[in-house]
Each structure stands twice: as C-alpha cells, then as structure tokens.
Structure 1
Amino acid sequence: MTKTNDVRKYSLRMPKGWKPPFPSYTSEFDSDKTEIAMALFGLQFNIADRKKAVKAILDLKILVQNTQGCDYIDLAECIQDNTGKSQVVLTSYWLDGDKLSSLFVNKTFTQLWEQYADSSQPFGLYREVFNIPLSRYEIVHSHQDHLVGASHIRDSVSEEIDTHAYWGSMRDRIPDSSINRFDAEGAIEVVSQEKNRIVVAANHNLAIIRSDQNMNDSKGEERDEYYQDVYPTLVKGMQFLRDEGEEVNCYDCRFMSFLDDNGNSTDHTFGYAYFKSLEDLEGWSEHHPTHKAIFNSFKQYIPKHIATIGSRFGHEVSILPKENQFAEYINCAPNTGLLNRLNR
C-alpha cells in the first residue's frame, strides 16, 4: 500500500494494546505506482434474456482482455438489482489509466459499445469508471494467498497487520486518512443526457466497497456453518443496502457471484456498494444492526475454523475525488446504479 503520511492530523482509532482476534494482510504496491484505474461494464436484463447477456459480456471480455494495458478482469452476476432486474458485470483493473482511456476510443470497442447501445438489444448497458489514488485506497485479506480484484496486480503482500477487526480500522488503513476526513461534497449530477443515454458523476469523496467471500475451497463443518450462520446475515445486510440504502446514504448495492470463463456461477460472492462518504459507510458498518450481525457472525466463525480454514475473505475500499469518476447508463431501468440517488 501507499505509505501513510508522516504528518498525522487525525488519530488512529486502534485501541491501546490492540491484539487482533485473527490474522489479516494487505496487498502492497511499489512506490512508483500512485493510482489504479477500475472500469465496470454491465449489462442489465430480464432473467429470460440471461443467455444473450452472458454471451455479450463474454464477447466484451475478449475485446477488453485483448486490449494492451488491461491488467486484470473478472466477471460477476447479480441475480436481482435494486430495480428487480439481473446484471452481468465485467470489472477491469488498469495500472495505467491512460491505456483505459485509449480503450474508449478504440474503433473495435466503440463499434461493439454502440451495437450494444441499440435500443433493440434485450438489455441495458452501463460503464462506471474510476481512477483511484492509492493514497485513498485500502485492501485487506484474510490470507496472504487470497487473490481477488486489485490484489491480482499487487507487487507484494504484507505480513500480518494489526489495523483490522476494530471499528475504525477501515479508515485507519487508508493512507490519506491521517490528514483528510474525506467529507462528502456535492451530489450526483448529470454530465450529459440524450434520449436513452445519461452520463453522471457522483459527489466528491464517494466511497466504494467491494467485499468478497470465497467458499470454493471450504468443506465439511466449516462450509455448513458458513451457510447456516453467516451467509443469511450477509444476504440480509446486502438486501437492506439494496432496498433501503437511502437510510444510510448508500446509493446502490449489488450482491454478486463471480462467474467462470464460461459464464457459470461460482461459490465466490461479493457485495459491491456505493456510499455518499466514508463516514456513511462507517456508520452503517459500526451502528446498523444488519452489519453488526454480519461482523459478529464472522468474528465467531473465523477464529473457530482458522487452523484449517479453506474459505477466504477480504475487501477493497476506495474514496473517489469527483474529477476521477464518471458513469454512463444506456437503456437501463430508472434508478440503476448511481442513477438511484441522482440529485439527492
């Protein structure tokens, strides 16, 4: 991770003498890397059109994957978003944001994008694009071998860290939190709009969290207890953010499963959510009963199975300057993604 600022304006929230109840690790990036670009490409559809949408997203994946400069791609599916529709989503990571920008003017890409944008297609189309300063970013894993999202392009992995498993540790892991409170400024605003297409930018200091649960290698009692005791609380929390997120300033939440190369669902899930600010994300995490239930279930589950655990958990959090983001929605249902809290 990017080095924390030497001059600290705001204190750590770590309790004095803190000893974490289980180990965690962070992905590290060399000092010459200051930013990661992340672009999500999504198709929104009625479930009857899933086959067509999956074929389209796999074609898009091949195109993006063959573009020089894309460092990592994954595919995922949301069975039901906040509009009642389904989504398949391609998430791409780029260590060179200029190469991502060049994708958007690549003739092959623009032709395919406009083909998908035609209103005769059985799906809506969107892209959500972010340049993430590493000084405004944190990523944590339950195990050193756990690779998901941006950890696939890391330079190294840390030894055990102590800044985790207490309230406020998420903020403590973000380097610039030592000098910046990341207060929200402004609102989601329309950049441009024409017919079936709308481009928006969210408020300054938008907070994004991508939190994953990989059960592909879990077995026996460990697996059974997860699906009996942990998973139901996780689903309940994700549904709250999806359906009632306005209560905690969550703009949108998609609970998704990763897909394999053939478009089949795996046993690896993640929640992807936009909050107006880091303070709002923290408020839900620390105080709302839906997340407290998630936190407490994991806190009991992981130490119990830590010696032989096959499951893997982690998350990445980004705090976005307004100028580092945009999102385009074409033929999508009203309230999709960041449109859900437009001008609110």
Structure 2
Amino acid sequence: MSVQRVTVLGAGSWGTTFAKVLADAGRDVTMWARRAEIAEEIRTGHTNTGYLPGVRLPDRLTATADAAEALAGAEAVVLAVPSQSLRANLTGWRDLLPRDAVLVSLAKGVELGTLKRMSEVISEIAGVPAGEIVVVSGPNLAREIAAEQPSAAVLACADHERAVAIQKASANRYFRPYTNTDVVGCELGGACKNVIALSCGMAAGLGFGTNTMATLITRGLAEMARLGAKLGADPLTFAGLAGVGDLVATCSSPLSRNRSFGERIGRGESMGQAQAAAGGQVAEGVMSCRSIRELARGVGADMPITDAMYRVCHEGVDPARVGAELLGRERKHEWS
C-alpha cells in the first residue's frame, strides 16, 4: 500500500503541522480550512499565522475551503478537528470521502454522551471497519514539530499494513513515526493525558513544584493504565510514546493548552476567564474529564485525579480543596 496524495481536514495548529510533516516527507498535501481566508493564506503565502506564526509551509502543500475539492483523489484523509466536533464534521464529509482512502485520526478524546473513542466515531459515521482506521498519538506539541525539532509519534491501527503506509508517508528528517496495533491503548492515552495535564497546570497555579508534578504524572499514568486494563489495552502501550511520552510533554510544557488552562484555574481565574485567555477555546481536558469519568465508572476503574478535575471544571470546587482531598484518600499499596 502506497500513499502519495493526502488530504488534511482541519487547519488548526496540529492539523497544519501534520500537513507540513507529510509534505516534508514528499507527499502532495491538500488542506481543507473552514475559513476561506485561511485557505487563501496557506495556498498563496504558505503560512498560517493564526495558528503557527513564523512557520513557512512547504510549496507542495496547498489549501481550499471547498471540502469536495480537497478530497478529490485523496489516497489518505487525515481528520484534524477537535474530538467533540468530529461527529458533526464527518457527517458532512461522509459522502465525499474517496473509496479505499486510508482514514487517519489526529483527535484525542472520548465523545460526550456515547463515550466512544475517536476511531469508533469515525467507523460509525464513515461506515468503515474500526480496524482500518489509523490513530496518531504521542508527544505531539505542534509548535515544536512545526519548528522541525526532533520528535516521534505512534501510528496505531489493527491493520498493520495501513499503519505502515502512513508511517512511510510521514517519516522525514525530524519526524519519526512508530507503528502499533493497540488502538485502544493509544486512544485512551491520548484522551486521558489532557485531563492529567489540567491537574498539573492547577498545581503549578497553586504554587507547587516538581515533586507535585511528578506525583500527578505518575499517578495519572496509573489511572490511564487501570482504565486501559478494563478495556483490553496492552499495558506496554502506556509505557511508550502514546502513554508516558504524551503525558510528560502535555503535563510539563507551557505550549500545552490543557496545562496552561489548568494553571489559570489554579491561580484563581474562572472558567470563563481561562477560556477567554485561550482565544475562546475550551481545553480538551475540560470536556474529556466528563466523558472519561463516565467511562471509568461504567467499567469500575478508579480514577481519582480525573474525578477531581471533573469536580473543579463542572461543579466549581476549589482546586486547593480537591488537592487536599486527594492527599487525604485512604492509604494503600502503590499497585493496588
């Protein structure tokens, strides 16, 4: 299986960055942007200053605001829209998807209401087997990758041949993709790390330091692994790029929207103030903590940090209070 022509649906920071990765790997890439002015800027100026200021995009990358035009002749289609809007967007694109194109998901989250992972949503709406969808995960801070800093990612698909095809299409001198067949583990890691990053941001906003961050990251990893075990994920996945790798990057970097959002809450700002500072966008972890909490309760997985983030974000509980409650929980063996 060979992929040369790729369409990226979504022109945000990660979608634009992954389009650049593909073009720098020698692929012909067409992006779809919701706003015509963004498509025009990418097509004629080879920049997307609203999302990646200071980054020049490759000449072989073009863009359009017409989804049908963008999708014509695509051998792979990359879905680069937020997790909670994926269903609505894909419903509008479904009849335009080229037959036999490899579908690739960049979204990291669990859908509210249905509690489905992104590959499950894509499978349902696009009418393709879930085992044929490639999921991209790992430490994927867009600005660093767009600046061509060395980085790696995981491409997960039950159909290994499809994962290898996207691996070949995206590997370049600064981006090293690995393959994996554990889609469940990779998607859960990508969704849960946003919630743990919120907690690390709140801890930073409260003035806590490295020991607290390390504790939250490690115990957050334990939560992810417990949920994964209940849902059939491979435990080794959480020790890799889609687990601890993504977790460390998202929890520690000021480029992480979830960490930055949480830090504002920890400093005493309201949800509205934090959202305004983020350009009107709600961090993925704010939405995901609700769906992940419901998913965990349904399968009996203990996720106290996730529960604490839900209480702060959706019940208005003070971050300092939930922090004290986490420390005051019943003492137990580390691996119980």
Q: Which has the higher helix share?
A: 2
Q: Which has the higher strand share?
A: 1
Pair in the same fold by TM > 0.5: no
| Structure showing greater relative contact order (alpha-carbon pairs closer than 8 Å, 6 or more residues apart) | 1
TM-score where L is the length of structure 1: 0.25
TM-score where L is the length of structure 2: 0.25
